Amino acid sequence: MKIASKQPRRPPVIGLTGGPGQAGVSYASTYDFLVPRGDRDLVMLDQRGTGASGLLRCPSLEGAVPRFSRAAATEACAIHLGARRSFYTSADSAEDIEALRIRLGVPQVAFYALSYGTRVAMEYARRYPQHVELMILDSPVAPDAPDALGRETLGAVRRVLHALCSTGCHGAGAHPVSDLRRLVARLRRAPIRHVLRGGRHATVTVSADDLLRLLRASDMEPGFMRRIPGAVRAALAGITRPLVRLKLSRAANRGRQSIADLNPAVNAATTCEESTLAWDPAASPDVRRMQALAALDATPAATFDPFDRPAALTLGLLRQCGRWPPRERVVGPPPPLPTTVPTLILSGDLDLRTPLENARRLAAALRGRVVVEPGAGHFALSQGYYGCTDPAVRAFLAGRPRPPCRHQDDGV
């Protein structure tokens, strides 16, 4: 926990990071702007299993884990954790926050929550709406997210590509969606195999699934994302080097991720224990896969365009949770979402992890308002190119009317 001021005049802001599995205290400086005048405390906490809050460890998931063995590594993690794996849900984190509120001795708290942290904020507000002054939900997950087949992300790709290239993409043509569709189909038949020249020759393979991972992973770097359509068009013309460079760049960044950035044990336990799955969690792994495929077959192909049904298996939860043991802890349904807590929702129109569609659905459920940041991806508040989100947040925390923005608010 970090206290940013000593004489607050309004309820403290609790900052909730994403993941699940991201520690919070080490990110305190990123959230300091929320209390610029010292009229509130900023409280950062490491949610259970992260940082200094009983750090959860799973050796099978730490370090480089080949994608083809991800399900086996996650299953080994579940066995290693034993009965503990059932106690890292968002509802458990919400109860931890209530204990923290009591310890702080305050009647109400406010939330600034990012990505998965928005789910924890909502879980707390479901149970203790009277103790929530307001919520700011940045890049929020939908109430029923994540989708076990990745359909929320896949369904947003076309809109995001059009928004991305509306002001120009490096070397891309006029039709980035159809270009991507053509390359996905080509790579399903034969992935790119590019030989790197140098001291030691190496072959880099780029598959259709690699394209999907590149797009999704780049939504926190719109500048990087803008290079993808041009690289796709070049690959269609037989020039593969730009796409290979993008894949190698992403791989290098992924290798630098630490357990503080994202604890894989907590991520697996929370995701696999509480997500709504497309299969019976009590079934065998083979039956689970059959049920997932049946759910895919029942989904219109247009849902995945410009990708395809196999992409849903790559993006969805089957690879991570397909061999997770059956749930042993029975948790009742949560209370309904509150509609009386003032809520501001922030979304970047290039976000593919938690797309704008999520934000709009959530706004309808909470009777909140959405502020869209054009040209921003995941973590909209950090990418204020048009200055829409930052003034809105400051005004909301101060109880002032939101200032006008070039891109109009979109809400209920």
- Domain CATH number, residue 123: 3.40.50.1820
Q: Poorest-confidence range of 31-45, 175-189, 193-207, 347-361?
A: 193-207
Domain membership flag for residue 323: no
Residues 203 and 307 grouped into a single domain: yes
The three-point CA angle 231-235-239 to 5° equals 100
Task: Answer yes or no: do 207 and 283 share one domain.
Answer: yes
The answer to whether residue 8 sits within a structural domain is no
Residue 404 CA from chain centroid, whole number: 28
- What is the per-residue pLDDT for 42? 92
The answer to whether residue 376 sits within a structural domain is yes
Q: Are strands 202-206 and 343-348 parallel, antiparallel or unpaired?
A: unpaired
Q: Is residue 355 part of a domain?
A: yes
Q: Is 54 in the same domain as 194?
A: no
Same domain flag for 228 and 198: yes
Query: pLDDT band at residue 68, thresholds of 50, 70 and 90?
Result: low
Nearest by Cα to 170 from 241, 244, 219, 234: 234
Higher pLDDT, 363 or 406: 363
- Residue-wise pLDDT for 152-183, tens only, equals 999 999 999 999 998 778 778 789 999 999 99
Of the candidates 225, 231, 229, the residue with the CA atom closest to the CA atom of residue 243: 231
Per-residue pLDDT for 256 more than 70?
Answer: no
In a domain, 69, yes or no: no
**Residue 134 and residue 111 share a domain:** yes
Please indicate, yes or no, whether residues 137 and 246 belong to a single structural domain of this protein: no
Residues 49, 165, single domain; the answer is: no
Number of domains, the chain: 2
Q: Which amino acid is at 385?
A: Y
Tell me, yes or no, whether 405 lies in a domain: no
Q: Are residues 167 and 304 in the same domain?
A: yes
- Count how many Cα atoms sit within 13 Å of the Cα of residue 5 in the half-sphere of its side chain: 18
pLDDT grade for 195, boundaries at 50, 70 and 90: confident
Sign of the torsion angle spanned by Cα atoms 327, 149, 117, 261: positive
Banded model confidence at residue 73, pLDDT cuts 50, 70, 90: very high
Q: How confident is the model at residue 255 (pLDDT cuts 50, 70, 90)?
A: low
Look up the domain containing 391 and give its range.
13-58+86-145+332-398
Cβ atoms within 10 Å, residue 103: 9
Q: Return the exposure string of 18-32: e unless at least 16 CB atoms fall within 10 Å of the residue's CB, then b.
A: bbbbbbbbbbbebbe
Whether 408 is covered by a domain: the verdict is: no
Under DSSP, the state recorded for 259 is T
Kindly state the average pLDDT of the residues 321-335.
Answer: 88
Cα gap 389→314, rounded to integer Å: 32
296 is written with which tokens?
Answer: 């895919």
21: left (phi over 0), alpha (psi -120 to 50) or beta: left
Query: What residues contact 381, with CB distance under 8 A and at least 6 apart?
Result: 114, 138, 346, 373, 389, 390, 393
Q: How far apart are CA 203 and CA 182, in angstroms?
A: 23
The one-character DSSP state at 83 is G
- If asked whether residues 337 and 219 sit together in one domain, one would say no
Instruction: Quote the pLDDT of residue 208.
Output: 95
CA distance 34 to 112: 8
Instruction: Name the 3-class secondary structure at 135.
Output: strand
What is the pLDDT averaged over residues 112-130?
97
> For position 29, what pLDDT does the model report?
84
Residue corresponding to tokens 């305050």: 106
- Record the pTM: 0.93
Is there a single domain that holds both residue 215 and residue 336? Answer: no
Instruction: Tell whether 26 and 137 lie within a shared domain.
Output: yes
* CA proximity to 232, closest of 258, 206, 252, 255: 206
| 359 located within any domain | yes
The burial class, CB within 10 Å (0-12 / 13-18 / 19+), for 330 is exposed
Q: For a pLDDT cut of 90, what percent of the chain falls above it?
A: 68
Residue (of 21, 48, 42) closest to 30 by Cα position: 42
Provide DSSP, 268-293. Answer: HHHHHHHSPPSS-TTS-HHHHHHHHH
Please state the separation of Cα 229 from the chain's center in Å. 22
**Stretch 107-122: mean pLDDT:** 97
- Asked if residue 219 and residue 285 are part of one domain, the reply reads yes
